[in-house]
Amino acid sequence: MTPHPLILAITGASGAVFAVRLLEVLLAGGREVHLMISPSGAAVVKQELDRAVSLDTFELRSLVPGASETAASLVRYHHYADFMAPPASGSFLTGGMVVCPCSGSTLSGIAHGSSTNLIQRAADVHLKERRKLILVPRETPLSVIYLDNMKRAAEAGAVILPAMPGWYHGVRSVQDLVDFVVARILDQLGVPHELMRRWGQ
């Protein structure tokens, strides 16, 4: 059976490299990805990766240079303000959702059920439908408000997976650290990969 599509939302926290690498690996594995990017997320992509992404006329190569036509055919892009998009409904089946990186404001909106944009609404759908929702914050230090919101989201069923790489897998480059975080996200989604050497292997 063809696996259900996955949802990736990129929001305005530092760490856009994690989202782009995750998207690359999912597409290389032939997975269909429904993609959403917040305005702040696009701004961070530009600032950190020097890639200009248009939210109105999105093209995959603006985010993943050199992406193949096959990869592009696997991406379904949805504008962050489009509440009529499939991910806004629980009847749209998915294999899970990742918010990577997850900004503090997005975390707050999810934790409190605000649903002020499609990203928050899709996350709310995953919580109510008891589907996998992975939030990848990248912030330090953490305020009590931020910690309370993570706790609230976790109690509602989300997986809180901070972008905190380990060092036990033979780190030789920054890419190894990025791949560690992406590998842990893929593990939570049940997506096979060979991005890192596992403990004891």
Q: For residue 115, what is the domain's CATH number?
A: 3.40.50.1950
Q: Three-class SS of residue 31?
A: coil
- Name the DSSP class of 92: S
- Tell me the one-letter amino acid at 88: A
- Name the DSSP class of 5: P
Residue pair 11/119 in contact by the 8 Å Cβ criterion = yes
pTM for the complete prediction? 0.96
Quote the domain boundaries for residue 56.
Answer: 6-189
Structurally, the chain folds into a number of domains equal to 1
Rg (CA), the chain: 16
- Tell me the one-letter amino acid at 128: K
Q: What is the tens place of the pLDDT at every residue in 78-88?
A: 999 999 999 99
Task: State the virtual CA torsion across 122, 71, 195, 134 in degrees, nearest 10.
Answer: 0
Counting other chains too, the contacts that 55-62 makes at CB distance below 8 Å and 24 or more residues apart are 55/79, 55/80
Q: What is the tens place of the pLDDT at every residue in 136-150?
A: 999 999 999 999 999
Q: Does residue 76 belong to any structural domain of this protein?
A: yes
Q: Does residue 169 belong to any structural domain of this protein?
A: yes
